[in-house]
Amino acid sequence: YPVLECHEDGSFVVTKHPGTGGLVNVATVFEQLLYEMGDPTDYITADCRVDFTSIRLEQVGENRVLVSGIQGKPRTDFYKVSASVQGGFKAAGQLVISGPRAVEKARLCAELVFRRLEKAGVCFPPEDRVVELLGTGVCHPGVAPTPQDLPEVVLRIAVKSDDRSKVERFGMELAPLITSGPPGVTGFSGGRPKPQEIVSFWPALVPRELVDSHVRVSVEEI
């Protein structure tokens, strides 16, 4: 990891411990400044808002880069809070579909799953379900042509719901396709899909005056 030598005027030197791997030069420091950048003229932190276009980088030695000229604006009136909240339940399962017309059979299997669920009174709207045919280019659709008659594909189906019982019911419909679905269906991994709790990300802003911050430094000899 890099080491920062901070100066009173706000500048600092980025360096690293001798004898360690890696490289510290203007290019590598510049690359880190671009990481997860929104508006480079108004990068918001808890203490200030930074104008990254004002920064100057200078190589001042081997594995030593001086960062200076940094300008900014006063801090905002809010703190950002990143909260984790309960977001329902999810489950995902996979099957291998093999033989002639494997892609067509895989699509039919997915259709059968959701038809059977609907007959049981369990419905998943389009935004709460995903059907993927792994091996047909689903990661980068349209980048490369898909062979017309693949010998096998992996059918992956995932669902989510606030109702755990609906997700459990989905898990009961996937495995039966091996014996009551199109020919060439076989298991792949893990048995029946089981519900898993979804932990969702919830960003929010909290007025700064509502937060009473404290710093406590402890020193312990070991």
Q: Assign domain 85-202 to a CATH class.
A: alpha beta
Note the pLDDT tens digit of each residue in 93-115.
999 999 999 999 999 999 999 99
Tell me the per-residue pLDDT of 76-90, one tens digit each, with 9 for 90 and over.
Answer: 999 999 999 999 999
* Domain range list for the chain: 3-76, 85-202
- Per-residue model confidence as pLDDT tens digits over 123-140: 999 999 999 999 998 888
Give a three-class secondary structure readout of the chain: CCEEEECCCCCEEEECCCCCCCCCCHHHHHHHHCCCCCCCCCEECCCCEEEHHHCEEEEEECCEEEEECCEEECCCCEEEEEEEEEEEEEEEEEEEEECCCHHHHHHHHHHHHHHHHHHCCCCCCHHHEEEEEECCCCCCCCCCCCCCCCCEEEEEEEEEECCHHHHHHHHHHHCCHHHHCCCCEEECCCCCCCCEEEEEEEEEEEEHHHCCCCCCCCCCCC
